[in-house]
Every structure is written in structure tokens, then in C-alpha cells.
């Protein structure tokens, strides 16, 4: 029996040669831990498919066939016991575009859409993009972490919004909404006739101590829900542009026929190939990735406790994102301080809503050396800021 080994992150000089947004957003002397890109080499099964496509100059327009639906259905069954009908899987460019197009299908201009911040900032803008109004029901923070505000959602749903956009697992806080919570949301949606759209992009990155519950695996959800998911975050292929919309009923699948024809055509050809490879052959690599991320999560916890004890957080049950509460540091803007004085680039929490102004989001999908260097620089930045103020 082969023992699986954790993944090794690329060296910093190799990473700095990358041309993706993570490595081009900041000057060259900044450690970028903001954008949700990982610092690991892509799974070899994906590399092989892409290299073969380039060798054959197979770089034309995408034409998603049945293989993407088949691949995702197999992945969903193996990982979550979720029975997906392949013909109900529709290719789209990315999760964000999929959500906006679904809003256009299931709502009318001027309708209200509910969201639960703190949440990935585009959630706050997608309703406007679709010509809709936004209503917010923030998450509630308890001793054990963040949860959906079910009482608040019932009050909001009773006002008959057109849709609720769920984020599960939730970016940036990393909570995995429980099966009971999802079931309650489904019950509310059915009672008040609210369409559910679930962004489940971080589902494959749920750690073993938690259990991810796909929306459409819950009884009754097929009548009111639709899921949007991608291999992009779990397999680090966001730039290849491919996600899937998943229906759970004939009625929803029929409604999706109202999507513009161009929606599927805009999915990246290489993205479809890479997604099929990931969903079909990437299980072993994904296990290694989760082992690695668990190790990094533990390391980050120790480094924060040692060097930044005033910074608090609830360790994420999914993803590689740490939502750090910097309110006890008494800084005007923690993100600005860490960048200006420590040369560490973190995502500022304000755009996530839900009282996130005094938070920063840190991406720990990197090497131990970079996490060590970053936390040391963050601690030094705080000391330098306080010395200046005093």
C-alpha cells in the first residue's frame, strides 16, 4: 500500500516568475498572501492533459460534451454520495458568471436577493449586475465559529425575495454549514418560494473533521435550488475558466435552457479538459493537498499564537483562507500596516461586509518558510507602528 506524501510548495523565486494576478498585484518585495491561488504545482494528471493539448495545437473554442457532466457526477458520487444526473450539468466560464446568469433566469429586474456576509466580495455586486436589489442577513458568530442566522433568514424570506445566494463552505470565514442548517434553509425557501443558488466552489476543500453537504443532496432542495461549483479552487486552475451549473430536477434543467447559448461556449476549452481530468483522476492528489493544508493550518495557528497573540481567528473547516480578527491591535487599518511596514499583502476585510473592516484574509496555501517569514514580518510591522505612534 502506497503512503501518500504531502505536497511541497514551489520555491519563492519560482513563484515570483508566475504571471498570475497573485504575483502581479504587488511590488516584487511584497509577500502576496491575499488572492486565492495556491503555491503548489498543479496535479500531474492535469499537466499531462494540458501538455498534450498544446502538443497537438488543440487550442480552439471549447465545446463541452457529455464528458464534463459524467466526470463531475462521478466526483460528486465518490466524495459526497450525491447522485448527479450528468445531463443536468451545464458548463459555464466561472462560478461568478454562473450565479449572475442564474439570477437573470430566475428573477425579474428590481427583485430582491438575499446574501449573508461576511462573504466573497463579488456576492455584494452580483445582484446589481443582474439589475436586482440586495438584502443582507449576516452570519452570526458563536463560541464555536460562524453560523447562518436562520431566524434572520426567515424574516428576510417572509418579505418574499426572489433568491438567496448561499456560500457553502463560506469564504472568507471557512465555516462549513451543517446538514441541519442547509435543511432549514431549504425548508424556508420552499415555504416562502425563494430560489436558492449555492456557490459550492470550496466544497472539495473540506477538511476531514467537517462534512460538506451539497445543497441538492438535501431532500426537497431540487424543487428550489441550483448549485454552481468548479474544480478551479481545489485544483488551482482558475485561469482556465470552467465551472458547472448543476440542476436537481427536470423543471430546473428546463429553466436552464433559457441561459444564453453563449454561456457554455464561453467556457475555456483547456478549462473543460483540465476539469474533466481533475474530477476523474485527481482524487489522490486532492488527498495530498488536504493533508498539506491541514499541516499549514496547524503551523499558522502556532505562529500566530507565538508572534501575534492579539490576532484571533476560528480555524477554517474548509479552504486555505484564514479570517483574522485584528480589532485588538488598535490599528487604523491592519491591512495597510502589514503591507506598508511588513511588506506582506493580505486581503482587507472591509469589502467582505458583515463587520469585516477590522479583519484581514490570509492565504496559507504556501510553504512553511513563507508563512514563517510572513508572520514574522507582520509582528515586526505592528511593533514598528506602535513605536511610531508612541
What pLDDT sits at residue 2? 65
- pLDDT per residue rounded down to tens, the chain (390 residues): 568 999 999 999 999 999 999 999 999 999 999 999 999 999 999 999 999 999 999 999 988 889 999 999 999 999 999 999 999 999 999 999 999 999 999 999 999 999 999 999 999 999 999 999 999 999 999 999 999 999 999 999 999 999 999 999 999 999 999 999 999 999 999 999 999 999 999 999 999 999 999 999 999 999 999 999 999 999 999 999 999 999 999 999 999 999 998 898 899 999 999 999 999 999 999 999 999 999 999 999 999 999 999 999 999 999 999 999 999 999 999 999 999 999 999 999 999 999 999 999 999 999 999 999 999 999 999 999 988 865
Q: What is the pLDDT of residue 390?
A: 57
- Contact (CB, 8 A) for 243 and 98: yes
**Burial class (CB within 10 angstroms; exposed 0-12, middle 13-18, buried 19+) of 208:** exposed
Sign of CA dihedral 118, 121, 122, 125: positive
Buried b (16+ CB within 10 A) or exposed e, 34-73: bbbbbbbebbebbeebbeebeeeeeeeebebeeebbbbbb
- Distance (Å, rounded) from C-alpha 304 to C-alpha 310? 9
Q: What is the pTM of this model?
A: 0.97
Per-position b or e across 96-114, b if 16+ CB within 10 A of its CB: bbbbbbbbbbbbeeebbbb
What's the pLDDT score for residue 338?
98
Q: Facing residues of 227 across strands? A: 198, 246
User: What pLDDT, on a 0 to 100 scale, did the predictor assign at position 387?
Assistant: 85
368: cell is: 512553511
Strands of 225-229's sheet in order across: 89-92, 243-246, 225-229, 195-199, 163-167, 112-115, 133-136
| DSSP class of 259 | S
DSSP SS3 for 94: coil
C-alpha 388/C-alpha 390 separation (Å) is 6
Amino acid at each position: 500500500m502506497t503512503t501518500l506524501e504531502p505536497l511541497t510548495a514551489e520555491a519563492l523565486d519560482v513563484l515570483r516568475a508566475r504571471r498570475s494576478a497573485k504575483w502581479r498585484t504587488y511590488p516584487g518585495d511584497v509577500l502576496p498572501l491575499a488572492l486565492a491561488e495556491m503555491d503548489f504545482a498543479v496535479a500531474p494528471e492535469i499537466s499531462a492533459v494540458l501538455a498534450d493539448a498544446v502538443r497537438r495545437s488543440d487550442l480552439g473554442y471549447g465545446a463541452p460534451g457529455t464528458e464534463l457532466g459524467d466526470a463531475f457526477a462521478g466526483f460528486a458520487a465518490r466524495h459526497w454520495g450525491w447522485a448527479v444526473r450528468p445531463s443536468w450539468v451545464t458548463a459555464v466560464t466561472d462560478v461568478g458568471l454562473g450565479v449572475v446568469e442564474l439570477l437573470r433566469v430566475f428573477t425579474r429586474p428590481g427583485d430582491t436577493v438575499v446574501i449573508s456576509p461576511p462573504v466573497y466580495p463579488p456576492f455584494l455586486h452580483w445582484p446589481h449586475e443582474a439589475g436586482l436589489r440586495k438584502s443582507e442577513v449576516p452570519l452570526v458568530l458563536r463560541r464555536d465559529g460562524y453560523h447562518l442566522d436562520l431566524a434572520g433568514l426567515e424574516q428576510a424570506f417572509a418579505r418574499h425575495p426572489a433568491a438567496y445566494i448561499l456560500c457553502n463552505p463560506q469564504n472568507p470565514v471557512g465555516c462549513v454549514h451543517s446538514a441541519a442548517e442547509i435543511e432549514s434553509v431549504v425548508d424556508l425557501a420552499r415555504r416562502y418560494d425563494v430560489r436558492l443558488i449555492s456557490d459550492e466552489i470550496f466544497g472539495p476543500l473540506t477538511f476531514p473533521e467537517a462534512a460538506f453537504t451539497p445543497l441538492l443532496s438535501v431532500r426537497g432542495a431540487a424543487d428550489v435550488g441550483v448549485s454552481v461549483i468548479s474544480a478551479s479552487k481545489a485544483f488551482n486552475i482558475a485561469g482556465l475558466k470552467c465551472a458547472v451549473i448543476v440542476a436537481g430536477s427536470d423543471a430546473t434543467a428546463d429553466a436552464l435552457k433559457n441561459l444564453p447559448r453563449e454561456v457554455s461556449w464561453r467556457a475555456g476549452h483547456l478549462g473543460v479538459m483540465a476539469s474533466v481530468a481533475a474530477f476523474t483522476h485527481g482524487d489522490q492528489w486532492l488527498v495530498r493537498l488536504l493533508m498539506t493544508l491541514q499541516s499549514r493550518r496547524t503551523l499558522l495557528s502556532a505562529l500566530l499564537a507565538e508572534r501575534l497573540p492579539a490576532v484571533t481567528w476560528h480555524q477554517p473547516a474548509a479552504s486555505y483562507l484564514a479570517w483574522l480578527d485584528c480589532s485588538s491591535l488598535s490599528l487604523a487599518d491592519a491591512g495597510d500596516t502589514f503591507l506598508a511596514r511588513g511588506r506582506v499583502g493580505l486581503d482587507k476585510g472591509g469589502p467582505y461586509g458583515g463587520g469585516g473592516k477590522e479583519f484581514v484574509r490570509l492565504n496559507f496555501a504556501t510553504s512553511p518558510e513563507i508563512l514563517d517569514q510572513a508572520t514574522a514580518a507582520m509582528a515586526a510591522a505592528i511593533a514598528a507602528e506602535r513605536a511610531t505612534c508612541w
